Structure formats: C-alpha cells, structure tokens
Amino acid sequence: MSINKLALILYKIIDDCLRKPHRKWTLEDLIEKVSEGLCELKGIHSGVSKRTVQGDIQLMSSNKLGYNAPIVVTKRKYYTYSDLSYSISNSPLSDSDMSKMRDAVDILKHLNGFAYFDEMSDMIARLENNLSKRDHTSVSYIQLENNKLLKGLNWITPLYRAIRENIPLLISYKSFKSQAPQDTVYFPYLLKEYRNRWFLICRPKKGKTLVTLALDRIEDIAEMAKSGYVEYDGVDFERYYADTIGVTKSERDRGHRVILRVDQGNAPYVLTKPLHASQQLLKTEEDGGILIRMDVVLNFELERELIGFGECIEVLAPKILRDRIKRREPIRCCSSTPSNSSRTA
C-alpha cells in the first residue's frame, strides 16, 4: 500500500502524541492536535474528521503499512503506546520497502565504480550486508554497464567540485594527436558521459568557444583562484545537446536533416531503439525496410553509429554525410544488430 505525504504527516503527528506518556490522549485530543498540525504545516484550516483519525490509528496498528504500532486504549478512552520506546520512525522496513532498497543497492554498487562515489563504499557495503541478513540472499537482479579499467574516472570528483564551486582549473591534457601534454587554464561547466566514457565541457581562459576534453586524456589538474572564474552564459546544456549524438559539437554547429534507409533485418532494432530523440518514421517500404529522418549535428559519433550498421543502413541525405560514409571502408552487414566500432574519439 502506498502512502501519500498528507497521510504520513497525520501518522507522524499521532506518533509524536503517543510517545508522550506524561499526557493522557483522548480521541478528541488527537483530533485537535492533528488539526492544529495540518493547519501549521499544510495550511489546511478545515480540520480533520473523527473517522479519519480513527482510521489512521487502525492502519498504524495493523501490518498493512508495516508499522504494527502497539497502540492501546486505557480506561476505555486514553490512547497510548504499550511500548514507550516505540516510534513509527524506527519501525522495521516492510517487505516492499526491502525490495525497493535492494534494487537501489544494486544500482549504487555500479555507481560505486566511479571516483565520486568512493565515500559511499563503506555505506553501500554495510547496507547490502544488512539487507542480505534480512532476506538471506545476495542475488543481484540488475546489472549495469561498468568498466572499472576505464581511465580518467579519478578526475570526476575534483572536476565535479570545480564545476559546482566555480573554480578555474589548470589542466594538463594530452590529446591523441599530441606528442606531449599541454597545460591550459579552463573554466569547467559540465561533466558528460557517453557510452561509458566521460568528458568535460569547458572553455579555455584564452578562448571564446566551448571545447570537449576526454577525462582519459587528462594527465593532471590543479585548482586556480576562484576570482578568475568566468561563468557560462550560453544556452542551457539540455538544449545545447538536444540535436547531438555523443558529445562532439561546437557552438556554431546546427542540426541537419538526415534521411536514412534501414534494411528489413535492422528496421525493428532501429524502431524500438531510436538512434536519436528526433527520429521519425517516414516510410515503410514493400521489402520491409524503412526510411527514417533525424535532425542532428554531423559529428564523429553520428558517423561511427551509422558505420556500425555497415551496409544495413544507407545515407540518403545530406550529401556531405553520404560522401563521408562512402569514403570509409564499408562493413559487411551480417546480423540484425549493429556491430560496435572500436575507434575512440
């Protein structure tokens, strides 16, 4: 049984009353106290009915919410707890709560592979241990993609802090094309993940446009004086990346109308897992293939996504993208799902 916020407030007020043994609480006293609490906390001036409070007491006493509150009536009119140490705040979790908690722990265990969650390691381990003792099982029912060998995850914590606290950073960065790392001051704005690889969206102190740095190419980071930080004044990043597959984009880039023909074998895959949120079905052909449209930036990640399908997807428009794909060595189409490209941006 789910509990709404208003009901929780009612239970909490009744619980606070019954935990005070020095006062004798009649049903009328509880109704008055609950009405005062609702007025103070929620601005509800209509009060609460006798039937409502009686129903709340009954639910608290039952196992329906997992409370099993030891509420007793003395002298046929005074309500109290038979166990004065009891409170609904420290009552055991219900089976439903335990199930939800186990699911949350499974997810946290995967997030724990990232540096930002290091401080949660001990808490997650203890929580998982307690849950296992409760239900005598440690079976995991959810598994997320996680690559613990991925480089650069140790930079997530300092980068996140720098973004949150507006701290300029001196970053030593070695791109794939560089022979040696270069030291540059950046203003960090956003951490972005794409296919289990992390990137920093930032602006160089001596530049005017955003750049994207791969965390696995960062050699070192040093914090600079906060006074020199320049805040990002462009469009919000949700809109900025709305027309983008991946992370490669400049502030001048705009989405293009991309028309693709997908063969019969891959059509169900592309329809059930769209390549981009802007994807539209234009036509279903007689052979079972489909024509789709996307409005996206023409970047490396888009090309890699399309090449992963090999000959199973044909670019019809725009011509510039069609020519780019043609210049690459084609991959033979041999299955109903796209192969993964190993090339790294």
For residue 245, being part of any structural domain is answered with no
Instruction: Check pLDDT > 60 for residue 121.
Output: no
> Does residue 16 sit in the same domain as residue 56?
yes
Mean pLDDT of the chain, nearest integer: 82
Q: According to the model, what pLDDT value does residue 341 have?
A: 34
> Does residue 175 sit in the same domain as residue 196?
yes
Inter-axis angle of helices 121-135 and 95-111, nearest 10: 150
> Does residue 301 sit in the same domain as residue 272?
yes
Confidence of residue 1 (pLDDT cuts 50, 70, 90): very low
Q: According to the model, what pLDDT value does residue 295 have?
A: 97
pLDDT tens-digit series, residues 251-292: 889 999 999 999 999 999 999 999 999 999 999 999 999 999
pLDDT tens-digit series, residues 71-86: 999 988 999 998 888 8
Integer angstrom CA distances of residue 186 from 61, 172, 225, 266, 304:
59, 10, 12, 43, 28
Which bin fits 338, alpha (ψ -120 to 50), beta or left (φ > 0)?
A: beta
**Which of the two residues, 211 and 154, has the higher pLDDT score?**
211
For residue 193, being part of any structural domain is answered with yes
> Does residue 108 sit in the same domain as residue 58?
no
Average the pLDDT over 294-299 and give the result.
Answer: 96
Q: Which two tokens stand for residue 13?
A: 């007020």
For residue 28, being part of any structural domain is answered with yes
Instruction: Check pLDDT > 70 for residue 303.
Output: yes
pLDDT tens-digit series, residues 131-180: 555 555 555 555 666 666 778 888 888 898 899 999 999 999 998 888 89
**Helix, strand, coil percent values for the chain (each to nearest 5):** 40, 20, 40
Number of domains comprising the chain: 4
Say whether the peptide bond before residue 338 is cis (omega within 30 degrees of 0): no
Integer angstrom CA distances of residue 309 from 16, 122, 237, 295, 339:
63, 43, 29, 19, 6
Of the three residues 201, 234, 267, the one that is the final residue of a domain is 234
**Which of the two residues, 113 and 129, has the higher pLDDT score?**
129
Q: According to the model, what pLDDT value does residue 298 have?
A: 96
> Does residue 55 sit in the same domain as residue 104?
no
| Percentage of the chain lying above the pLDDT 90 cut | 48
Q: According to the model, what pLDDT value does residue 184 have?
A: 96
Average the pLDDT over 318-335 and give the result.
Answer: 74
CB 280 within 8 A of CB 302: no
> Does residue 160 sit in the same domain as residue 221?
yes
CATH of the domain at 311: 3.30.70
Q: Three-class SS of residue 119? A: helix
**Which of the two residues, 194 and 42, has the higher pLDDT score?**
194
Q: According to the model, what pLDDT value does residue 86 have?
A: 87
- Give the span between the Cα atoms of 329 and 315, in whole angstroms: 15
Q: Where are the beta strands (DSSP E) in the chain?
A: 71-74, 78-81, 169-173, 182-194, 197-204, 211-214, 218-223, 256-262, 280-284, 290-296, 313-317
> Does residue 81 sit in the same domain as residue 102?
no
CATH of the domain at 34: 1.10.10
CATH of the domain at 186: 2.30.30
Confidence of residue 68 (pLDDT cuts 50, 70, 90): confident
Q: According to the model, what pLDDT value does residue 41 have?
A: 79
**Which of the two residues, 188 and 234, has the higher pLDDT score?**
188
| Percentage of the chain lying above the pLDDT 70 cut | 77
Query: What is the sign of the dihedral through the CA atoms of 221, 225, 228 and 234?
Result: positive
Q: According to the model, what pLDDT value does residue 328 have?
A: 76
pLDDT tens-digit series, residues 169-208: 999 999 888 889 999 999 999 999 898 888 999 999 999 8
> Does residue 86 sit in the same domain as residue 11?
yes
pTM for the full model?
0.59
For residue 312, being part of any structural domain is answered with yes
CB 190 within 8 A of CB 211: no
Residue span of the structural domain in which 315 resides: 256-327
- Give the span between the Cα atoms of 322 and 315, in whole angstroms: 5
Q: Which of 53-67, 117-131, 215-229 has the highest mean pLDDT?
A: 215-229
For residue 340, being part of any structural domain is answered with no
Average the pLDDT over 37-63 and give the result.
Answer: 86
- Give the span between the Cα atoms of 112 and 148, in whole angstroms: 10
Of the three residues 35, 66, 90, the one that is the final residue of a domain is 90
- Give the span between the Cα atoms of 196 and 160, in whole angstroms: 17
> Does residue 80 sit in the same domain as residue 123?
no
> Does residue 65 sit in the same domain as residue 124?
no
For residue 122, being part of any structural domain is answered with yes
For residue 120, being part of any structural domain is answered with yes
For residue 286, being part of any structural domain is answered with yes
CB 233 within 8 A of CB 168: no
- Give the span between the Cα atoms of 187 and 184, in whole angstroms: 10
Residue 194's Cβ-side half-sphere holds a number of Cα atoms within 13 Å equal to 21
- Give the span between the Cα atoms of 314 and 328, in whole angstroms: 13
> Does residue 171 sit in the same domain as residue 225?
yes
> Does residue 82 sit in the same domain as residue 105?
no
Confidence of residue 340 (pLDDT cuts 50, 70, 90): very low
